[in-house]
Amino acid sequence: MNFQRKEIIKKYILDERLTPEERGERFEVAWDIWNYFDDIRGELALNNFIQPLKRKLEEVLPSSFEVSKFDFGSIYITKPEWRLDSEDRGIVAVAFERWNRNWSTVGLVKNDRFSVGQVEEKLRKKLSSKGLRTTHSWWLGYLPDPDLPKTLTAPLFEYYKSILVNPERVVEDCFNSLKRVLNVVQDEEVLELLDEFVEERKRQLSKS
């Protein structure tokens, strides 16, 4: 199929029945598609997926949480007191990240590579007991790939194609995945640990 598509594109540009001027015009069109395609698919994801997802989340988020940041390939949910300033997505935030990678991540992410020692270890253990996979990098915990819908784990081509032809499904799947992480975060013990985690990080920063 890829070979057939390549031949179709070649024929579109190199058709011998075309005049040199027509071939030149078609080449310019093909070049512009190639040159601007990243921007086009970024706008598609922002308009068809992320912004509708943001609106859907804001309808159900508890008053103590807010969408702190978003772009064509990510969205972050945090508490105002977990942010360093209005530009910060949150020292810790519930997040979806994909951009132009071949995988999606939905979980609880830090805003930098740092550690707060024992508090962080307690938090990771608690998140693990709630079904999140833990790491010792940016992500405190995330949903394992088998727990994510296929729309979010599909290869990049299929992911963007889904956003184009069935955006409501992608929005719903990501919404439900984020809700799962939010439910973990709103557990009383997890919330207490997260508050402690954030305060410890603020103390670290105040000393630096």
The per-residue DSSP string of 60-123 comes to HS-TT-EEEEEETTEEEEE-GGG-SSTT---SEEEEEE-TTSSS-EEEEEESSS---THHHHHH
What one-character DSSP code corresponds to residue 142?
A: E
Q: Give the integer Cα–Cα distance in Å for 92 and 108.
A: 7
The whole-number pLDDT of residue 80 equals: 98
89, 77 contact by CB (below 8 A)? no
pLDDT band at 16 (very low <50, low <70, confident <90, very high): confident
Q: How many helices (H) and strands (E) does the chain have?
A: 8, 5
Q: Give the model confidence (pLDDT) of 125-183 as tens digits.
A: 999 999 999 988 899 999 999 999 999 999 999 999 999 999 999 999 999 999 999 99
The whole-number pLDDT of residue 183 equals: 97
